């Protein structure tokens, strides 16, 4: 990387937390949503940005696919009002494209779109802005990491060896000497399978101990282990979050995660 880019100040936002992963489909959006709700339930003012420009999933997960933000014009700039759901101020490119339509922007345009979503939104006094990253280490992630002062990042992985290797790469990028994003912790999603009729049983179908291994390697903490439960996937389809799932292990995983974040950023 060349010259450090001067950081853009966001006066309405106290803390920016990135939720990142190496591999796709490991549950970033699920974790970002649940974490946002958990922080809001603890009394914080929370914003959620869906930075997955090419595959936004936050509007569907919150049941607000048809929402369209109001826009006001202030001089030459348009200012968008976030959509509020479950007490969270939400912004996503999904609000501006029709369902099923895919974006074919090249890197710089996508990077431009994400900075507009973050900077041209009329955030209302946010304590935590949670950013749901796209998978991997591309232009969008780099733009956000270079442009804004992040309080820290959470890396989501599943226990399989291939996911762990990708999580290592993503974590290494975040913490490298150019970016130096503080790690707030590792979240292991789909840590075990719990069948609905037997909520106390745990089956480690994808292996065991992977999240802790990554945490140890990077000198950070394992701040959450979320079981694989059918209801969580089903809830997302219905526009509900982890807190609508009557599964104690899921709810308590998100509560622990939010406490770990609040504690480290107090």
Residue 83 to residue 70: CA distance in whole angstroms: 9
117 touches which of ligand ATP, Mg ion, none (CB within 5 to 8 A by kind)? none
**Closest distance of CB 130 from ligand ATP, Å:** 13
**Closest distance of CB 256 from Mg ion, Å:** 22
Which of 45, 227 has the CB closer to ligand ATP?
227
24 touches which of Mg ion, ligand ATP, none (CB within 5 to 8 A by kind)? ligand ATP
CB 147 within 8 A of CB 8: yes
Tokens of 90: 């939400």
Residue 178 to residue 145: CA distance in whole angstroms: 10
226 touches which of ligand ATP, Mg ion, none (CB within 5 to 8 A by kind)? ligand ATP
69 touches which of Mg ion, ligand ATP, none (CB within 5 to 8 A by kind)? none
Q: Counting runs of H as helices and runs of E as strands, what totals does the chain give?
A: 8, 10
Closest CA to 181 of 129, 142, 214, 211: 142
89 touches which of Mg ion, ligand ATP, none (CB within 5 to 8 A by kind)? none
Among 18, 21, 22, 29, binds Mg ion (CB under 5 A): 29
In a 3-state reduction of DSSP, which class is residue 177?
coil
E-only strand ranges, the chain: 13-20, 46-50, 71-74, 77-80, 83-85, 88-92, 126-132, 152-157, 183-193, 222-228
Residue 154 to residue 68: CA distance in whole angstroms: 29
**Closest distance of CB 146 from ligand ATP, Å:** 21
Which of 40, 163 has the CB closer to ligand ATP?
163
Residue 33 to residue 27: CA distance in whole angstroms: 10
Residue 255 to residue 30: CA distance in whole angstroms: 14
Which of 57, 143 has the CB closer to ligand ATP?
57
Which of 29, 157 has the CB closer to Mg ion?
29
Which of 57, 141 has the CB closer to ligand ATP?
57
Which of 145, 170 has the CB closer to ligand ATP?
170
Stretch in the footprint of Mg ion (CB under 5 A) among 20-28, 74-82, 236-244, 246-254: 20-28
26 touches which of ligand ATP, Mg ion, none (CB within 5 to 8 A by kind)? ligand ATP
Ramachandran angles phi, psi of 162, nearest 5°:
-65, -35
30 touches which of Mg ion, ligand ATP, none (CB within 5 to 8 A by kind)? ligand ATP
Burial class (CB in 10 A: 0-12, 13-18, 19+), 209: middle
> Which residues of the chain form contacts with ligand ATP (CB under 6 A)?
21, 24-30, 52, 55, 57, 135, 189-190, 226, 228-229, 232-233, 236
CB 97 within 8 A of CB 59: no
Footprint of Mg ion on residues 44-83 (CB under 5 A)? 52, 57
Q: Which residues bind Mg ion (CB under 5 A)?
A: 28-29, 52, 57
């Amino acid at each position: 990387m060349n010259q450090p880019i001067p950081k853009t100040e966001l006066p309405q936002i106290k803390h920016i937390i990135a939720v990142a992963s190496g591999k796709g489909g490991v549950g970033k959006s699920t974790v970002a949503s649940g974490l946002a709700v958990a922080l809001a339930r603890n009394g914080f003012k929370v914003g959620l940005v869906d930075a997955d420009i090419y595959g936004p999933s936050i509007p569907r997960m919150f049941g607000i696919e048809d929402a369209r933000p109001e826009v006001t014009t202030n001089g030459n700039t348009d200012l968008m009002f976030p959509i509020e759901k479950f007490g969270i101020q939400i912004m996503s490119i999904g609000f501006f494209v029709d369902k099923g339509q895919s974006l074919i922007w090249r890197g710089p345009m996508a990077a431009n779109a994400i900075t507009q979503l973050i900077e041209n939104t009329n955030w209302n006094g946010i304590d935590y802005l949670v950013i749901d990253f796209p998978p991997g280490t591309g232009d969008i992630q780099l733009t956000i990491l270079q442009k804004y002062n992040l309080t820290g990042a959470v890396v989501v992985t599943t226990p399989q060896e291939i996911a762990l290797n990708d999580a290592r790469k993503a974590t290494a990028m975040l913490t490298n000497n150019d970016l130096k994003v503080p790690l707030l912790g590792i979240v292991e999603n789909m840590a075990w399978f719990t069948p609905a009729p037997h909520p106390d049983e745990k089956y480690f179908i994808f292996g065991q101990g992977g999240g802790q291994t990554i945490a140890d390697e990077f000198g950070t903490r394992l701040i959450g282990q979320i079981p694989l439960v059918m209801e969580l996937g089903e809830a997302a389809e219905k526009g509900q979050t982890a807190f609508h799932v009557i599964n104690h292990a899921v709810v308590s995983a998100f509560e622990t995660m939010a406490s770990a974040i609040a504690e480290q950023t107090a």
